Amino acid sequence: AHHGVLLFAMLLILLLLWIEARRYRFFDFYRARVRQFERHYFAQIFSPQPDFASDWLLIVGEGLRAPKFLLSQRAALA
């Protein structure tokens, strides 16, 4: 019966690792989006530049319409 306990513990750890990798992918996704706002929107408010390209708003809009993870599940597990 003790082999079953070890197998159960291994599967439980694998499940928790999978959940943590998924959480990390979401964290990375939203961190990148917030970083875009910090880099482009807030930086332009506090230190305006006349030759500033405003295509970042299109990138954020596309990311809201069709969100894509920046990290693969395999990379998040590593």
Q: What is the reported pTM?
A: 0.73
Can you give the pLDDT at residue 57?
Answer: 80
What is the C-alpha separation between 55 and 61, in angstroms, rounded? 10
By CB atoms closer than 10 A (0-12, 13-18, 19+), residue 22 is middle
Q: What is the pLDDT along the chain (78 residues), one digit of tens a residue?
A: 689 999 999 999 999 999 999 999 999 999 998 998 888 888 888 888 877 667 878 888 888 899 889 899 999 988
Can you give the pLDDT at residue 1?
Answer: 66
By CB atoms closer than 10 A (0-12, 13-18, 19+), residue 30 is exposed
Where do runs of H (alpha helix) occur along the chain? Answer: 2-36, 43-46, 56-65, 73-77
Convert the pLDDT of each residue in 22-38 to its tens digit.
999 999 999 998 998 88
